[in-house]
Amino acid sequence: NAGVTQTPKFQVLKTGQSMTLQCAQDMNHNSMYWYRQDPGMGLRLIYYSASEGTTDKGEVPNGYNVSRLNKREFSLRLESAAPSQTSVYFCASSVDTVSQAFFGQGTRLTVV
Amino acid sequence: KQEVTQIPAALSVPEGENLVLNCSFTDSAIYNLQWFRQDPGKGLTSLLLIQSSQREQTSGRLNASLDKSSGRSTLYIAASQPGDSATYLCAVPSGSARQLTFGSGTQLTVLP
């Protein structure tokens, strides 16, 4: 009964380092999303994949790239981390873009 | 652009009280509205999804109502318990990609 699984749960990066956040879902969902959550800013969409083979920018895509590896997996890459990318990152999935969304437990990222 | 507002930002009630959380949205052309719960340091858990054609949706002690014409939804929690303490967020699909737009949440504390 895994649902949406994110790795890692915590990460500290130095400015300029790169890393990839992994997300996998086992619900056979078509749509997957990456959000970031910041105090006072709420949840904001970074990128999404409406279906396997497609990806699109959300509200705050700058500094990020994504890959929809297959139907199950959707990764988020920070090529050159900046302190402004310190945040909690959530992956989510849904059957389609207007169905109930299921979230992972989050990745707490600190960039120093 | 869709905007979602939740008032109050925080609410503290004694155990056993019935309570109402409010959510308002600016664009009434919505597909549905979701209510989520977020515990500190955790991901979001979907509580209820209410379709635009519905007026109410119930799950246990939770009842969500939707009035599209006035741009409002309420989440009613009956007989509140300390375990209900969490942040409650509402969200609607919006934009060309129908990505979720979230309110900033209501932080609920139920006192024993």
Query: Which residue in A90, A97, A101 is closest to B34 by CB distance?
Result: A101
Contact yes or no for A42 and B34 at CB 8 A: no
The answer to whether B49 contacts A103, with C-beta atoms less than 8 Å apart, is no
Residue in chain A closest to B47 (alpha carbons) equals A100
| pLDDT for residue A82 is more than 90 | yes
Beta carbon pairs, A and B, within 8 Å: 52
Q: Looking at beta carbons, which residues of chain A come within 8 Å of B41?
A: 106
Q: Do B102 and A33 touch (CB under 8 A)?
A: no
Question: What pLDDT is recorded for position B29?
Answer: 87
Query: Mutate which of B38, B50, B89, B100 to disrupt the A interface (most A C-beta within 10 Å)?
Result: B100
pLDDT digits (tens, 9 = 90+) for B93-107: 887 667 889 999 999
Alpha carbon of B44: minimum distance to chain A alpha carbons (Å): 6
What integer pLDDT is reported at residue B41 of this predicted model? 87
Q: How far apart are CA A78 and CA B88, in angstroms?
A: 30
Q: Tens digit of pLDDT for each residue in A30-74?
A: 999 999 999 888 899 999 999 999 999 999 999 999 999 999 999
Query: Which residues lie closer than 8 Å to A43 by C-beta, 6 or more apart?
Result: A35, A36, A37, A90, B89, B91, B100, B102
Q: What does the H/E/C string look like for chain A?
A: CCCEEEECCEEEECCCCCEEEEEEECCCCCEEEEEEEECCCEEEEEEEECCCCCCEECCCCCCEEEEECCCCEEEEEECCCCHHHCEEEEEEEECCCCCCCEECCCEEEEEC
SS3 B43: coil
Chain A residues touching B88 at Cβ < 8 A: none
pLDDT computed for residue A1 by the predictor: 64
